[in-house]
Amino acid sequence: MAHFDLLIRGATLLDGTGAPPRPDDLGVVGERIAAIGAIPGDATAARLIDARGRALCPGFIDVHSHSDVSLLLDPRGESKVHQGVTTEVIGNCGFSAFPLALPERRQQHLDLLASLGTGTIEPTWSDLEGYRAAFAQRGGTALNLAPQVGHGTLRIAVMGMERRPPTVEELERMQWLLAQALEQGAFGLASGLTYPPSGYADTEELIALSRVVARFGGHYATHARAETEGFGHVEEAVRIGRESGARVQFSHLALNVPARWGRHADLLRLFEHARERGVDIAYDVYPYAASSSCLTQYLPGWVQAGGPRAMAERLRDPGSRARARADVAAGWFGGIPWLWDRVVISRSGDPHDTASPGKTLQALAVEAGVPPEELVLRLCETRGNAVEVVLFYRTEEDVQAFLRHPLSTVGSDGLALPRDQGEARPHPRSFGAFPRVLGRYVRELGLLDLATAVHKMTGRAAERVGLRDRGRLAEGLAADLVLFDPARVADRATFAEPCQLPAGIDLVVVNGHVVIDGGRQTKARPGRVLRRGE
């Protein structure tokens, strides 16, 4: 007679491959799926769940997340596990918590990571193994992490915040540190080419580093350069993939320039043509027509050079400030026009400023009696990378086209956050991205069928990242599971009230342990920092 730690009977199984749903049972022993199919009626279990009328699928894999610091500060991962996310891919957009050059560049590292959690960490590690150990010492986390090497962090560790190409010796040092992290289980390299210092790299530097990634079977993920003229930001990613041989994951695909809204077909054709020529490139997208980032990202590169402290000193010089004001007024990322009433403060960066979150830069500039570009400089000068904004610079038509295309996977571009965010209003993607796909884009709009949507958030995501043990329901694989009601699942997080938990997700299992039970979080912390190949 079979015995299971967890036995789920009568669920509608979505196995993560895109295959049609089917009624079946699933049994878990320890951390693994032990049986799938018609499990005999005399089987026993420590926990039996009647799942008739509900769907069972692999745990969702957030291929683009920024929880590198937030999960160290709060290991519950509340905003993500309630969505059914069981694995987050971190280290994106050039930001990672390793490798660190301590103590000589400690402050530059902390400045880079300032937007990845509402608190201060004191690193006790320098490499991935040390970072992994830090989670174990804190008692684990509620969900798994798949770490990437942030290119910006890598550059700081070797070059600091200097705005120049690396010397031969410096490039070799970056390659060595990258190889060390890959040997320790990192999944790839991630650039952030609109952020300093990652954005200081030329294409040749990125190719040289991506060749190291390719040698280890990893991938190159890119937050690409700004789309100021044509689609050169995609063409650069294609070239890096072609010349390095690395698999390429293009981060949070979008059209942010108002003059290009609606041109999704032109952009998607670049990806299709690249794949026809043998470049393994795909992309992720989050299901919202608004983005979010730290405000400093939208300053000219010369203003940001050297980090927040150097920037503040530079802006105190009258001549430099006048130049910066003119450059900001001319547009961000080299010419994208500011629509001041579409840029909303989501986190003020100052605990005493509780009135700014939720207000537009236009409204705040009027209140302050200064032009919006001067307000931007004041905020960045005094609060550094801690000010965050939401930009309503996208169209629903483009979002739907990117989500529907077979090359897409789903990533939140958010953080694992506790519900209590004080006066801050973070982008709702941190609380609602995955149930939003299931509720709005599957059930309400019919943009995707349920099996395809689940595939994009599980099996397809695992393939792109290189997770062999997750993303599918199959005997012997890790028991990362989500049980939800297809008729009820929905996001409830809004831009006005973003810290709302979703509806319709009843059970979430991570490594065989229940972390969400009846919609409530347990005290279990079974997650771990994974190694490439797992």
Bigger pLDDT: 298 vs 36 = 36
Tokens of 246: 């690395």
The contacts of residue 9 (CB under 8 Å, 6+ apart) are 25, 39, 48, 49, 50, 51, 52
Q: Check whether residue 223 and residue 324 sit in a common domain.
A: no
Q: Any idea what the CATH number is for the domain that residue 419 is in? A: 3.20.20.140
Q: For the segment 446-460, what is each residue's pLDDT rounded down to a tens digit?
A: 999 999 999 999 999
Is there a domain that residue 45 lies in?
Answer: no
- End-to-end CA separation in angstroms for the chain: 31
What is the DSSP pairing of strand 188-192 with strand 44-45? unpaired
* Helix, coil or strand: residue 247: strand
> Tell me, what's the pLDDT at 114?
81
Q: For the segment 356-377, what is each residue's pLDDT rounded down to a tens digit?
A: 999 999 999 999 999 999 999 9
> Tell me, what's the pLDDT at 118?
67
Last residue of a domain, one of 418, 433, 468: 468
Query: Of 120-124, 181-185, 310-314, where does mean pLDDT reach its minimum?
Result: 120-124
Beta bridge partners of 22: 13
Q: Check whether residue 278 and residue 327 sit in a common domain.
A: no
What DSSP state is assigned to residue 442?
Answer: I
Is there a domain that residue 23 lies in?
Answer: no
∠ CA 77-83-87, rounded to 5°: 60
> Tell me, what's the pLDDT at 230?
76
Bigger pLDDT: 256 vs 81 = 81
CB 222 within 8 A of CB 175: no
Q: For the segment 193-204, what is each residue's pLDDT rounded down to a tens digit?
A: 999 999 999 999
> Tell me, what's the pLDDT at 336?
85
What pTM did the predictor assign?
A: 0.96
> Tell me, what's the pLDDT at 306?
85
Q: Check whether residue 86 and residue 164 sit in a common domain.
A: yes
Give whole-number Cα distances, 382 to 308, 360, 376, 423, in Å.
9, 19, 10, 19
- Crossing angle (nearest 10°) for helices 264-276 and 232-244: 10
Q: Check whether residue 70 and residue 200 sit in a common domain.
A: yes
> Tell me, what's the pLDDT at 228?
66
Q: Check whether residue 404 and residue 378 sit in a common domain.
A: no
CB 390 within 8 A of CB 495: yes
Beta bridge partners of 7: 27, 48
Q: Check whether residue 364 and residue 399 sit in a common domain.
A: no
Mean pLDDT to the nearest integer, 217-234: 89
Q: Check whether residue 162 and residue 279 sit in a common domain.
A: yes
Is there a domain that residue 32 lies in?
Answer: no
Q: Check whether residue 201 and residue 260 sit in a common domain.
A: yes
Mean pLDDT to the nearest integer, 290-299: 91
Q: Could you tell me the residue range of the domain that residue 308 belongs to? A: 297-389
Last residue of a domain, one of 354, 370, 389: 389
pLDDT > 90? residue 272 = yes
Query: Of 128-142, 148-162, 291-305, where does mean pLDDT reach its minimum?
Result: 291-305
Q: Check whether residue 75 and residue 223 sit in a common domain.
A: yes
> Tell me, what's the pLDDT at 1?
73
Last residue of a domain, one of 343, 364, 389: 389
Report the domain count for the chain.
2
Is there a domain that residue 7 lies in?
Answer: no
* Helix, coil or strand: residue 239: helix
CA 418 to CA 295: how far, in whole Å?
A: 22
Q: Check whether residue 139 and residue 198 sit in a common domain.
A: yes
> Tell me, what's the pLDDT at 91?
98
Q: Check whether residue 329 and residue 207 sit in a common domain.
A: no
Is there a domain that residue 266 lies in?
Answer: yes
The mean predicted confidence, pLDDT, of the chain is: 95
Is there a domain that residue 212 lies in?
Answer: yes
CB 328 within 8 A of CB 405: no
Q: For the segment 467-523, what is each residue's pLDDT rounded down to a tens digit?
A: 999 999 999 999 999 999 999 999 999 999 999 999 999 999 999 999 999 999 999
Residue 123 dihedral angles phi and psi, to the nearest 5°? -60, 135
Tokens of 365: 């500039």
Q: Check whether residue 370 and residue 438 sit in a common domain.
A: no
Is there a domain that residue 3 lies in?
Answer: no
Is there a domain that residue 173 lies in?
Answer: yes
> Tell me, what's the pLDDT at 189?
98
pLDDT > 90? residue 116 = no
Mean pLDDT to the nearest integer, 134-156: 96
Quote the percentage of the chain above a pLDDT of 70. Answer: 99
pLDDT > 80? residue 335 = no
